[in-house]
Amino acid sequence: MLSNRQEIILRLIIEEYIKTASPVGSKRIQEVMSVDISSATIRNESAFLEEQGFLEKAHTSSGRVPSTKGYRYYVDNLMKKNDIEDVKLQIEEIFQKRGVTIDQVLDQTSKILSELTKLATVVSTSEDIEETRLKRVELVMLSKQSAVVLFILSNGSIENKTINLEAISLEELKISIDLFNDRLTDSKIQEIEFKAKAILPILKEQVKKYEFVLHTFVSALLHTGNTSQLKTSGMKYLLENPEFNDPNKIKSIIEFIEGASPFVWFQTHLKNHSKPAVAIGFETGIGNDDIAVVGTNFPTQNGGKGTLALVGPKRIQYDKVSDLLEWIGHKIEEKFNQGEE
């Protein structure tokens, strides 16, 4: 457990480093401290914090920089609420616009967040298919040799399957589609495989290639999975950070952002929590200790989940970012509770 003085010194070093990206020396700490402490005392306390793993010695100067452990202690114990009312007013205006959708809100909010924080903003959403239903099946001819079968789902997505008409006649394909529409419309996707077996005797009587039809249609529907989307803003800001001058580091961050799966971390970690989650350094799950991610979950249409996250160097302004994301998460939830899409 750190003493009150050690916590003050650690907090000041982290906040100075966040602002400047430069190692922080004892002289600078003495200048910004509200109490009168000698430079020697600050050096001794800083040395102790370094020994305990909260700080690291910079190679190029006598100053120190926060470690991942130091950032984590700051986030969990020292972070204060940041006054960001002006930013909230800008975002509040977006939410209040008549007819604005959640997607539009997130797009505009992401740009504001990236511009304010100089970080990349990532919005990752996935719709849960548990309640998704089959609305109808349609046929679109491509040529005399091929056609596309469209499966329209209740969540607005459309799955398609191209059919070679040498494998099945057009007439049999139409019969199969009519049967699916008559017997399986409004069925949950998760029930399709079971219900399809019930219509097998009827299908078998009318369609010679019934096994081909059943396998093709059911597979197309079962492989819909979760419909995921990933949108980013402010990627250019990452390149402005000295931590990411190494091309290999920026490449690993881009790969991290482009893959939706890393953001499952937030969906799992935040499952029963309303507060934003923070992943620092190697906690993100990639081999890059210079990165940090702050994210919050929000509900999406049809029972799905979304994550709004900010990605950047470890010297993120955690207080400002966490406060903003928590507030935005509540605003999105309020909008859904009002019955808006």
83-117 pLDDT per residue, tens: 677 788 888 888 888 777 777 888 888 888 888 78
DSSP state of 133: B
- Return the CATH number of 130-222, one of 1.10.357.10, 1.10.10.10, 3.40.50.720, 3.30.390.10: 3.30.390.10
For residue 265, what pLDDT band results from cuts at 50, 70 and 90?
low
Query: Is pLDDT at 341 greater than 50 in this prediction?
Result: no
Q: Which of 27-31, 36-40, 69-73, 223-227 has the lowest mean pLDDT?
A: 223-227
- Measured between alpha carbons, how far is 62 from 2 in angstroms, rounded to an integer? 23
Query: Is pLDDT at 60 greater than 70 in this prediction?
Result: no
CATH 3.30.450.40 fits 85-128+227-337, yes or no: yes
Query: Is pLDDT at 12 greater than 70 in this prediction?
Result: yes
For residue 224, what pLDDT band results from cuts at 50, 70 and 90?
low
169, amino acid identity: S
Residue 339, pLDDT score: 56
Question: By percentage, how much of the chain surpasses pLDDT 70?
Answer: 86
DSSP state of 329: H
164-203 pLDDT, tens digit each? 998 899 999 999 999 999 999 998 888 888 888 888 999 9
CATH 1.10.10.10 fits 4-78, yes or no: yes
For 123, the enclosing helix (H) or strand (E) is strand 120-127
Query: Are 85-128+227-337 and 130-222 equal in CATH topology?
Result: no
Better pLDDT: 268 or 283: 283
Residue 272 neighbours by CB under 8 Å, 6+ apart = none
pTM of the model: 0.65
Query: Is pLDDT at 61 greater than 80 in this prediction?
Result: no
Please, what sign has the CA dihedral across residues 77, 81, 82, 84?
positive
- The average pLDDT across 115-134 equals 77
Residue 227, pLDDT score: 56
Residue 197, pLDDT score: 85
- The average pLDDT across 62-76 equals 90
Q: What are phi and psi of 106, to 5 degrees?
A: -65, -40
Q: Which of 90-104, 266-280, 315-329 has the lowest mean pLDDT?
A: 266-280
Residue 140 tokens read as 């679109």
- Measured between alpha carbons, how far is 219 from 213 in angstroms, rounded to an integer? 10
Give the start-to-end residue ranges of the domains of the chain. 4-78, 85-128+227-337, 130-222
**Which of 236, 228, 221 minimizes the C-alpha distance to 111?**
236
Residue 274, pLDDT score: 59
Residue 256, pLDDT score: 77
- Measured between alpha carbons, how far is 94 from 169 in angstroms, rounded to an integer? 53
* CA angle (168 as vertex; 162, 170 as ends), nearest 5: 80
For residue 67, what pLDDT band results from cuts at 50, 70 and 90?
very high
DSSP three-state, residue 307: strand
Query: Is pLDDT at 302 greater than 80 in this prediction?
Result: no
Measured distance between the N- and C-terminal CA atoms of the chain, rounded to whole angstroms: 47
CA distances from 231 to 180, 241, 299 (A): 35, 21, 16
- The average pLDDT across 259-279 equals 63
For residue 262, what pLDDT band results from cuts at 50, 70 and 90?
low
- The average pLDDT across 113-127 equals 81
